[in-house]
Amino acid sequence: MSKQYYADLHIHIGQTYLGNPVKISASNNLTVPNIIHFAKNVKGIDLVGIIDAHVPEVLKEIEKLIKDQSLYELDQGGVTDGNVTVLLGSEVEIYDANCSGPIHVLCYFPTIERMKQFATWYQQYVKNPHLSSQRLYVTGSALQQKVRSLKGMFIPAHIFTPFKSLYGKGVKSSLTEVFDADLIDGIELGLSSDTSMAEVIRELKPYTFLTNSDAHSLENIGREYQVLTLKNLSFEGVRLALKGGEHHYIKSNFGMNPKLGKYFESKCRNCNQHVSQVDLCEHCGSKRIVKGVSKRIEEISQTHGPTTPVDRPPYIHQVPLTYVPGIGHKTLEQLREKLHHDMYIIHHATIEELTEVANESIAQQILNLRKGLRQVVPGGGGKYGKIK
């Protein structure tokens, strides 16, 4: 029998159990045990992807947790503590001769042994295997073939981010410039785009879309997520969900309104004004323009021609509770203490339950999250948008 699970498959490690850094820009609180605890007890997330599991000390820590019986491997892939299932992943940067710019991709593997095999191979082609998101000095297709040979999943990450993404600067117009289209298992949209924006690109039609947080802090876990309907909560269950079927599929995507993304609109770095052109600022004459995701998608879609609609899961615009006006640290703490965790608060709590903890205005704003009712001031040039 299939059940529904909340999943965020892009979470970084800040430091190892020995105190060494992994993702330099991530919080030191992002450790394996903290991620598992916070995901379930605070956020209400059932399935997480730890995408720095290839780092030697992270692998050793996971093996140590299994030896201590804090975690155990699942027959269908992944590890769990009995509450939260973890997919073992790796974020890799590709910048080969076919790329116009660097591209980040996510590679997931079913078992610790397969991840160890990948890590051994990976260490031959990077300068520092102990840090996250390192540049891999092989071709994109060679990486894909290695992932497939180890029965892994290959997913381009935050594909429209202006820096280090597939369509940001990675390719001129088509993913086939760098990758084998048949060896892509899914597409991660990222914070500055949603389904309605991405589906205008014809070559993305075959792929399932994912919405993940790319969390660099514990609080950002579940900033974007999806509800998966699975018969089997495991690596294999996720793999089948990306293919779509009767018992395994993505039921809905939840993500921030793309206008809240810090690269949604084009912006001048010199005068910090929004611009309509991407070659010259009409305000100050500077050429230091950060091209917005909305403009980049418009350019790519024009090279691909019209596409026919695909029956996709609904994409619901939503923000974390910390973004809701009026919810400060104390109110959020009280909500979580009285009402289990964020997923319950956002999706299931009644107006009566909410008003017992917070005022009626905050309670109504939380209920509005379920409908995606949000007005925002667009972001751009590296600055996030704002909720009105």
Per-residue pLDDT of the chain (388 residues; tens, 9 = 90+): 899 999 999 999 999 999 999 999 999 999 999 999 999 999 999 999 999 999 999 999 999 999 999 999 999 999 999 999 999 999 999 999 999 999 999 999 999 999 999 999 999 999 999 999 999 999 999 999 999 999 999 999 999 988 899 999 999 999 999 999 999 999 999 887 899 999 999 999 999 999 999 999 999 999 999 999 999 999 999 999 999 988 999 999 999 888 887 778 888 888 888 887 778 898 998 888 888 888 888 888 877 766 777 889 999 999 899 988 899 999 999 999 999 999 999 999 999 999 999 999 999 999 988 887 667 878 777 777 877 7
Distance between CA atoms of residues 7 and 47, nearest Å: 5
pLDDT attached to residue 325: 85
Q: Using alpha carbons only, what angle is made at residue 178 by residues 172 and 179, rounded to the nearest 5 degrees?
A: 130
Distance between CA atoms of residues 52 and 13, nearest Å: 6
Domains and CATH numbers, the chain: 3-259 (3.20.20.140), 321-369 (1.10.150.20)
Amino acid at 315: Y
Q: Which helix (H) or strand (E) holds 72?
A: strand 72-73
Cβ neighbours for 330, distance < 8 A, ≥ 6 positions apart = none
pLDDT attached to residue 272: 82
pLDDT attached to residue 374: 64
pLDDT attached to residue 373: 64
Query: The whole model's pTM is what?
Result: 0.94
Please, are residues 231 and 223 in contact by the beta-carbon 8 Å criterion? no
Distance between CA atoms of residues 258 and 211, nearest Å: 12
- Alpha carbons within 13 angstroms on the beta-carbon side of residue 361 total 5
Distance between CA atoms of residues 246 and 270, nearest Å: 52
Which among 379, 6, 386 is positioned nearest to 193, based on CA atoms? 379
